[in-house]
Amino acid sequence: MAKVLNRKAARVGLPTKSNTIAYFEPGDHEYPDEMLDDLNGSRASVRAYFSGDPPVLEVLSGKSKPAAPAKMDPESTGPKPKAAEMVAMVKESSDLDWLNEVAETDGRKTVEAAVAARLEELEAVS
């Protein structure tokens, strides 16, 4: 069992790999480890709840938060993440090589615009 703290005043529902919804009640409660394992960590919307300062959902004991997906492989035969998910990943990234790779290979205008904006932000900081 994993103890998870939900900092929101409302119940949070997140998509799972098995195409169901996992619900987290407000406060700290115990949930089966399998429930956390089944969270779809490849979705930026899921990862967003476990990141931040402080995160909305925090695993206090037991399993760790859902793993972020590996970086996009340009030779991958699998489907691309949705544009909204890519934009969210771009906004979180500070890896210049990966951002440039996404700008060159993705081809979607919204993703390219997000990459350009993120590169400008990173350039302004450095």
Higher confidence at residue 78 or residue 2? 2
- Confidence at residue 74, expressed as pLDDT on a 0 to 100 scale: 47
Is the pLDDT higher at 66 or at 29?
29
* CA 96 from centre of chain: 19
pTM of the full structure: 0.50
pLDDT at 88: 86
Predicted confidence (pLDDT) per residue in 77-114, tens digit: 456 678 888 888 888 888 888 888 888 888 888 888 99
Mean pLDDT score across all residues of the chain: 81
Beta carbons of 23 and 12 less than 8 angstroms apart = yes
